[in-house]
C-alpha cells in the first residue's frame, strides 16, 4: 500500500533524530542515563555501578541501535521487526524521563519527554502489528485448527462409511448364504415329497413304477 511508503519514513524520522543525538552527543544524555541507572540500582539487586564513560558508551550504542532500526523501518526492510525493536529501545527512555521521581530536569520537561516517549512506543507497536493485509499469526493458528478439525471429521466420515460398507457386505453374504440354505432345504423337501407321492401311488395302483 502506497500509504505505508510515506508513513514509515515519517514515523522513523523521530527515532532517527533521537538516535543520532544520542550517538553523536552522548555526553548530553549521560545525566539522564545516570538517573535511570540509579533507579535501576535501587530496585534491582546486583546491578553494577557504571562510570560516566561507561554510561556514555551505552548511550552511544543505544543511539546507534535506534538509528539502525529506524533506518530499516524507513526503507521497509523487516518493518515489523524494526518497529518492535524501536518500541523496546524507547522503553528505557520512558523510564529515564518518567516524572514521578526527581532528577536534574524540571517536572514539566520530563513530563513532556515522557509523553512523547509513550506516544513513540505506541506508534511503533501499531506499526509492529501491521501485517500489510496478510493473515496474522492468530488467524493462521485458528485456520490450522479448523483445517485439522475438518480433516479429522472427514477421516471419521470415511471410516464410518467403510464400516457401514463392511457391515452391508457381511449382511449380504449372510443373506446369500441363508438363501442358498433355504433353497437347498426346499429342494430336499420337494424331493422327499415327490418320493412320498410316488410311493403312495405305487401302493395304490399296482404295477405303477
Asked if residues 60 and 26 have their Cβ atoms less than 8 Å apart, the reply is yes
Answer whether 0.75 is exceeded by the pTM: no
pLDDT at residue 20, rounded to an integer: 94
What DSSP string describes 152-168?
HHHHHHHHHHHHHHHHH
* Integer Cα distance of 131 and 134 in angstroms: 5
pLDDT digit string (tens) for the chain, length 209 residues: 688 888 999 999 999 999 999 999 988 888 778 777 776 665 656 656 777 788 889 999 999 999 999 999 999 999 999 999 999 999 988 888 877 766 555 778 888 889 999 999 999 999 998 887 666 566 567 767 777 787 888 788 778 777 887 787 788 888 888 888 888 888 888 888 877 777 777 777 665 55
The contacts of residue 1 (CB under 8 Å, 6+ apart) are 132, 133
- C-alpha 60/C-alpha 20 separation (Å) is 9
Q: 64 is written with which cell numbers?
A: 546507534
Under DSSP, the state recorded for 207 is T
The C-alpha cell 485439522 sits at 148
Query: DSSP letters along 19-79, please?
Result: HHHHHH-THHHHHHHHHHHHHHHHHSTTPPPPPHHHHHHHHHHHHHHHHHHHHHHHHTSSH
Question: For residue 70, which of 60, 57, 84, 56 has the smallest C-alpha distance?
Answer: 84
Domain boundaries, the chain: 2-134, 136-209
pLDDT at 209: 52
Nearest to 5 by CA among 175, 130, 167: 130
Amino acid at each position: 500500500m502506497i500509504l505505508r511508503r510515506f508513513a514509515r519514513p515519517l514515523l522513523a524520522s523521530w527515532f532517527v533524530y533521537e538516535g543520532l543525538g544520542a550517538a553523536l552527543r552522548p555526553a548530553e544524555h549521560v545525566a539522564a542515563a545516570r538517573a535511570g541507572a540509579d533507579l535501576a540500582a535501587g530496585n534491582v539487586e546486583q546491578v553494577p555501578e557504571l562510570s560516566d564513560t561507561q554510561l556514555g558508551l551505552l548511550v552511544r550504542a543505544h543511539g546507534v541501535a535506534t538509528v539502525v532500526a529506524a533506518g530499516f523501518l524507513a526503507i521497509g526492510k523487516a518493518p515489523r521487526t524494526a518497529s518492535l525493536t524501536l518500541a523496546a529501545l524507547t522503553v528505557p527512555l520512558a523510564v529515564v524521563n518518567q516524572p514521578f521521581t526527581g532528577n536534574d530536569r524540571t517536572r514539566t520537561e520530563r513530563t513532556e519527554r515522557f509523553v512523547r516517549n509513550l506516544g513513540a512506543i505506541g506508534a511503533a507497536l501499531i506499526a509492529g502489528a501491521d501485517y500489510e493485509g496478510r493473515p496474522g499469526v492468530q488467524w493462521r493458528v485458528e485456520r490450522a485448527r479448523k483445517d485439522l478439525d475438518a480433516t479429522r471429521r472427514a477421516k471419521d466420515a470415511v471410516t464410518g462409511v467403510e464400516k457401514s460398507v463392511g457391515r452391508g457386505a457381511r449382511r449380504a453374504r449372510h443373506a446369500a448364504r441363508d438363501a442358498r440354505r433355504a433353497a437347498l432345504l426346499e429342494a430336499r423337501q420337494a424331493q422327499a415329497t415327490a418320493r412320498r407321492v410316488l410311493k403312495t401311488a405305487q401302493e395304490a395302483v399296482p404295477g405303477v413304477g
